[in-house]
Amino acid sequence: MKENMQKPTVLLIDDDPLITESIGFILKKHYQVISAESRAEAKITLAKLDTKPELALVDLGLPPLPHEPDEGFALIEDLLAHNSQMKILVLSGQSDEANMHHALTLGAVDFIPKPADPALLLSRLDHQLMLKQVETKRRDTNESSLIIGDSACISALREQISQFADTIFPVLIEGESGTGKELVASALHKQSKRANEPYLVINCAAIAPELLESQLFGHAKGAFTGADKSHKGFFEEAGNGTLFLDEIGEMAYDLQAKLLRVLESGEYHRIGETRSIKSQARIVAATNKLLQAEVSNGNFRSDLFHRLSILKVHMPPVRERENDSLLLLQHFLQFYADSIKPVELDKAATLAWKAYDFPGNVRELRNIVIRLCTKYPAQVINTDQLKQELEQQLTSETDNTEQNMFSSQLIQQQIASGEFNLNLKLKELEEFVIQQAMQLYNGNLSKVAKALQINRTTLYSRMQKK
């Protein structure tokens, strides 16, 4: 058991027992393998683990939709919400180019088609583990914690951080996945008078709801089964420092009321105790959800939202950051230069890089840099080589026939003739609306998904089924 604890951990999610058994056998000499058969089981398994797996191998075709990639795509997002530093490799038979690019855009670092050669699988895992170790060693240095960029929105962001750093009020950081919200939280702490006090991070999506309360507030000995000794919570451990609540939108509704009490009065109590404890910690929260919409949907308390959002910071996506993508490119080339040989983009590839909107944001950009340097070490990258790493924007032309297909006269004629099929018409309507939105936003999937009020992964899946 001690030997296993010293090995890096791989979380393997596949619904085929033969595959999990064979891969487990291949990897067991170098890795501790923890397996799950579905997205739901993977989330439960992660919540029970004391330490976060460094790596994950994910199949796209998972129950209840084993012949579709949707569950795998959603799982990639779940895993990164649980641990943004996890290296996710997709191991899947659903290896067409569109699925591969979308998985990488969501944040996967590699895509390995099934069946995989054992030596190739091991080398890919070892490579990602090496890169993760590089990131871990440098995460606390100034270089790895800088907010890179010269765009107007990043300059405004730095000004906000400077203004908000020393206030006693909570700060809510909003932004899409992969934008670097945790960097803002860290900067708020480092630029404050609390900089020498503790800075603690708790991911609300990574801990089971029934355990999160204990993690935040602590518990008394005997408060529940397994509580064989008293435990200090994060509020107590943070002292006069900063407590960063990442993925705050995932916090259970009942627990939100207890967090609100701390924000309003500074008081809380451990589970199993009645004595109030006073918290002096400053709260910073982050979310990639639209909390106002979550409030409207009854998933988030309105009073807590207003309390948290006294001061709000928006972390802009890469597509809104002018030429920052080039600065980020150079940053990551230098960051990994000791481990992988840097590449250079030729003139046409540089223009293509600037034109791409990086829907996966900084996380996707970083992973593209790593893949380019791994595939073409020390080479000059051309446009074709670069575009192989990008998720292409899908656009559709809409003709007059499509524009008239939903006229009331035509629909009435089809109903009267017995030719009307409601399910088919709804499918056509969905396709038509997506086409119109794609034209309106010039093929920008992120903007289309936001305008249609659906998840980007859902939009992508529906486009693939057309």
pLDDT value at 400 more than 60: no
Q: Where in the chain is the domain with CATH 3.40.50.300?
A: 152-314
pLDDT at 417: 72
Could you give the CA distance from residue 355 to residue 387 in angstroms, rounded to a whole number?
11
Could you give the CA distance from residue 115 to residue 448 in angstroms, rounded to a whole number?
35
Could you give the CA distance from residue 49 to residue 51 in angstroms, rounded to a whole number?
6
CATH of 152-314, one of 3.20.20.70, 2.40.50.140, 3.40.50.300, 3.30.420.140: 3.40.50.300
Could you give the CA distance from residue 288 to residue 270 in angstroms, rounded to a whole number?
29
pLDDT at 206: 86
Could you give the CA distance from residue 53 to residue 34 in angstroms, rounded to a whole number?
9
Could you give the CA distance from residue 199 to residue 165 in angstroms, rounded to a whole number?
13
pLDDT value at 160 more than 90: yes
Q: Where in the chain is the domain with CATH 1.10.8.60?
A: 318-387
pLDDT value at 259 more than 70: yes
pLDDT value at 350 more than 50: yes
pLDDT value at 398 more than 50: no
pLDDT value at 145 more than 90: no
Could you give the CA distance from residue 431 to residue 396 in angstroms, rounded to a whole number?
10
pLDDT band at 395 (very low <50, low <70, confident <90, very high): very low
pLDDT at 404: 53
267-281, 355-369, 449-463, range with the lowest pLDDT:
449-463
Neighbour count for residue 21 (Cβ, 10 Å): 12
- Kind plus residue range of the DSSP H or E element containing 9: strand 9-13
pLDDT, tens digit, 9 for 90 and up, residues 302-333: 999 999 999 999 999 999 999 999 999 999 99
Q: What is the CA radius of gyration of the chain?
A: 24
Could you give the CA distance from residue 291 to residue 177 in angstroms, rounded to a whole number?
14
**Are 204 and 291 contacting, i.e. CB atoms less than 8 angstroms apart?**
no
Q: Which residues of 28-60 are buried (b: 16+ CB within 10 A; e: fewer)?
A: eeebbbbbbbbbeebbebbbeeeeebbbbbbbb
pLDDT band at 392 (very low <50, low <70, confident <90, very high): low
**Are 358 and 319 contacting, i.e. CB atoms less than 8 angstroms apart?**
yes
pLDDT, tens digit, 9 for 90 and up, residues 72-106: 999 999 999 889 999 999 999 998 888 999 999 99
pLDDT value at 2 more than 50: no
Q: What is the mean pLDDT of residues 286-291?
A: 92
pLDDT band at 442 (very low <50, low <70, confident <90, very high): low
Mode of pairing for the β-strands spanning 218-219 and 231-232: antiparallel
pLDDT at 3: 47
Q: Which fold has domain 318-387?
A: Helicase, Ruva Protein; domain 3 (1.10.8)
The dihedral through the CA atoms of 449, 450, 455, 456 has a sign that is positive
Q: Where in the chain is the domain with CATH 1.10.10?
A: 400-464
Mean pLDDT rounded to a whole number for the chain: 89
Assign 115 to helix, strand or coil. coil
pLDDT value at 221 more than 70: yes
Q: Which fold has domain 400-464?
A: Arc Repressor Mutant, subunit A (1.10.10)
Name, in order, each residue with C-beta under 8 angstroms of 6's C-beta and a sequence gap of 6 or more: none
pLDDT at 360: 92
Q: Show the tokens assigned to 294.
A: 């979550």
Between the CA of residue 429 and those of 422, 433, 453, what are the distances in Å?
A: 10, 6, 16
Q: Show the tokens assigned to 253.
A: 């509704």
pLDDT at 129: 95
Q: Show the tokens assigned to 168.
A: 């006693």
Could you give the CA distance from residue 430 to residue 424 in angstroms, rounded to a whole number?
10
pLDDT at 98: 86
233-242, 254-263, 338-347, 411-420, range with the lowest pLDDT:
411-420
Could you give the CA distance from residue 194 to residue 104 in angstroms, rounded to a whole number?
38
CATH of 2-138, one of 3.30.428.10, 3.40.50.2300, 2.30.40.10, 3.40.50.970: 3.40.50.2300
